[in-house]
Structure 1
Amino acid sequence: MNVYLTTGTFDYLKKIEAKYPDEMITLVNQSEALLFHETSGPTVFKQPRRYEAIAASGEIKKEGFAVMNNIPVTEEGRPLFEHLIKKQVPLVEKAEGLAALRFLRPLSSNTYIIMTVWKSEAAFNKWQNSNSFFDLKDKGFGDDGQPKIFESSSYVRKYLISE
């Protein structure tokens, strides 16, 4: 499955989404609006960020709270990173309040995205404070003699999804 992301003004992105309501979802936070396009074919975006969903569960609906962990990975570290994350996906899928998960491999950059969609921000916060919270740094990636797999620091973006 292909995933394409683009940014723009909220009103403009909602107009595009209205033309493709079954394939696109608009996400918004205080600083940006993002259009998420999931399809088996090409996109209508002119300059998208392009990804392949290499692990997916659940349906992304037009409601909820999305968290995107953006993780820049070295070229040499990609196979190891993908292997380690795929092993962790089943643990995250069991989280109470999780609606959907996408593990996105970049096709035109070095930054992977682990996208989780929650029924609410409260559900995400509850999971984040639980013992099963999935945190790459706690797993020791790149430490203790392991190969360096990160290009630079990861960062998180949080969004609301609404009709």
Structure 2
Amino acid sequence: MKIYITAGTFDFLTKIANKYPDEMMVTMVNENGALLLHETKGKSKFNVPRKYEVLESVGDIQKESFAVMNHIPVTDEGRPVFEHQCKIQVQKTANVQGLRALRLLSPISSTTYVILTVWENEAYYQRWQNSDLFIKAGTGLDAQQTIFASAPYVSKYSITK
């Protein structure tokens, strides 16, 4: 399974999604703009997408949700350790209340992994952020600083209808 992501204006991305009603596509927006996410076993419908292989998958990405993307640049040497630790955390996180979907995305042409979580709403995400499970997950990766190529960052989105 692959995930392709492209950016653009909300109206433009909505037109692309409407052009392919049989494909699993969701439009996500935040204060900085809009993204269109396409999950498929086939080829991308986008001209210049960011490309990811789905390493772990939990649940279904649903419209009218709250999405969080953790972007984590990982060194080539650190990839096996990072993937192993993340796969363990995915299993521990799979049944968190309010979580609709989770994807561990391996970059096809960059060094930045994405951990995508999709929540019923932002309140569930914030509750999870304050949980022991979340805190313990972060400390496991912090101990391996040498696997990171640069500082990770988070982006948050609303998934539209």
TM-score, normalising length: structure 1: 0.93
Unaligned runs of 5+ in 1: none
Deviation at 1:140, TM superposition (A): 4.8
* 2:55 alignment counterpart: 54
SS of the aligned residue for 1:133 comes to helix
1:81 aligns with 2:82: yes
Give 1:155 deviation, angstroms.
0.1
- CA distance, structure 1, for counterparts of residue 10 and residue 160 of structure 2: 12
Q: Does 2:12 correspond to 1:12?
A: yes
Contact in 1 for aligned 2:99/2:119 (Cα 8 Å)? yes
- What is the identity, as a one-letter code, of the residue corresponding to 2:52? Y
Amino acid of the structure 2 residue aligned with 1:154: P
Q: How far apart are the structure 1 equivalents of 2:106 and 2:156? A: 19
Rounded to whole Å, the distance in 1 between the matches of 2:46 and 2:38 is 9
Distance 1:108 1:134 in 2: 30
Letter in 2 for 1:28: V
For the Cα contact (< 8 Å) 2:89–2:137, is it kept in 1?
no
8 Å CA contact 1:6–1:48 kept in 2: the answer is yes
Structure 1 residue 111: Cα displacement: 0.2
CA offset digits 1:64-104 (Å, max 9, x no partner) = 00000000000111011101110111111121000000000
Distance 1:107 1:135, change over 3 A: farther
Q: Distance in 1 between matches of 2:81 and 2:4?
A: 24
Q: How does 1:1-163 map to 2 (within 5 A)?
A: 1-21=1-21, 22-133=23-134, 137-141=138-142, 143=143, 146=144, 148-163=146-161
More helix by share: 2
Give RMSD over aligned pairs.
1.4
**Aligned residues of 1:4 and 1:50 also touching (Cα < 8 A):** yes
* Paired residue type of 2:152: S
| Runs of 4+ deviating beyond 3 Å | 134-137
How far does residue 135 in structure 1 lie from its aligned partner after superposition?
6.2
Query: Would the alpha carbon gap of residues 134 and 89 (structure 1) be closer, same or farther in structure 2, given more than 3 Å must change?
Result: farther
Count of aligned residue pairs for this structure pair: 160
